[in-house]
Amino acid sequence: MFYFFCQGPYEILDNSVFTMQLITNLKEITSPFKNAVVTIGNFDGVHVGHQDLFRQVIEKAKVLGGQSVVITFEPHPTRVLNCNKHFPMITLYEQKVELISKTNIDVLLCIPFTPEFAAIPARAFVEGILWNTIGMKAIIVGPDYSFGKKREGNIDLLREIGEKLGFDVIISDWIEQGPHRISSTEIRNLVKEGKVGAASKLLGRLYQIRGTVKCGRDRGGKLLGFPTANLTLYDELCPKTGVYAVTVEYKENSYKGVANIGYSPTFNNGQFNLEVHIFDFHQNIYGQLIRVNFVQRLREEIKFPGPEALATQIRKDIIRAKEILSKR
């Protein structure tokens, strides 16, 4: 049995060399960027709407002969301003960096979000940081964008300062799919409901959980006949309990599998975790980082009379999962 132990901070799994410049402190910026075109947000999920916004930033930067700049924050502002009621992240920091790096953005500026930073007045943020430090010549944001101390800044203030200093303010329309606009909140709700297929359409990719393989109880292989991997979940957004068809990424390869997320009621385990059986996989990957992508929910988690009944159901789950995954 393999054991996935998910513990921050994560490593960035993509070993390719990013062409994007990653800056994690404003003090690292020694001179303004050339004709910087900026967008700002938390970008949790880096979903289809975010990707379209980045595309607009890149295109505008080409027109100005400048650099495309994405500004985000770590930790998420809600975790600093409202630490008792924060929600789970769709993408934790390292995955967000990886995803943004793949959009061809020139610069990702990840500002440490602290109470002191949150206290900066809106006008000082625009004039001091965006204009003087970053060299912003255009900003592209959504219609509801607000910023600065107590979210006092809005689109009207941006336009006022833009007219004074000489930068463009461009408002990007929301991207809609069906009756709702694409949003991190909508994706979060879909994943919680187990509707991972619907969530993937808004994300532009499969919903993913990642972790490090550790030695576990060795129950899946010896007792059930299906070696499994367990991922102890800490801070991620968790899909609804149940059984899922999944793919598993390890290094440069992708494998197919079936996963159970929940409490292992047949064994009265009591611990919330993710167990994954990877099809036709025999490598020793203890201590290695892997990614689990959720394709489709198969059924509810069920308490069986014993291991034999559970093993019989797992065989059925594997057959169905293989049918689903064969179409991908």
pLDDT tens digits along 233-277: 655 789 999 999 999 999 999 999 999 998 877 777 677 788 899
pTM, 2 dp: 0.88
Q: What is the CATH number of the domain that holds 231?
A: 2.40.30.30
Residues 136-168: pLDDT tens digits?
A: 999 999 999 999 999 999 999 999 999 999 999
Query: Same domain, yes or no, for 64 and 144?
Result: yes
Check residue 5 and give its pLDDT: 36
Query: Same domain, yes or no, for 35 and 135?
Result: yes
**Residue-number span of the structural domain to which 241 is assigned:** 206-325
Query: Same domain, yes or no, for 106 and 164?
Result: yes
Query: Same domain, yes or no, for 169 and 211?
Result: no
Query: Same domain, yes or no, for 139 and 222?
Result: no
Classified as helix, coil or strand, 43 is: coil
Alpha-carbon distance of 228 to 226, in angstroms, equals 6
Query: How many alpha carbons fall within 13 Å on the CB side of residue 317?
Result: 28
Domain finish residue from 160, 177, 194: 177
Check residue 70 and give its pLDDT: 98
How does DSSP assign 254-322, residue by residue? EEEEEEEEE--GGGT----EEEEEETT-----TT-EEEEEEEEEEE-----SSHHHHHHHHHHHHHHHH
Query: Same domain, yes or no, for 46 and 154?
Result: yes
Both structure tokens of 253: 């390869």
Quote the number of domains for the chain: 2
Q: What is the CATH number of the domain that holds 63?
A: 3.40.50.620
Domain contains 271: yes
Query: How many alpha carbons fall within 13 Å on the CB side of residue 182?
Result: 23
- Can you list the residues of the chain whose pLDDT is less than 70? 1-18, 84, 215-225, 232-235, 269
Domain contains 138: yes
Query: Same domain, yes or no, for 46 and 150?
Result: yes
Query: Same domain, yes or no, for 234 and 147?
Result: no
* Maximal C-alpha separation, the chain: 74
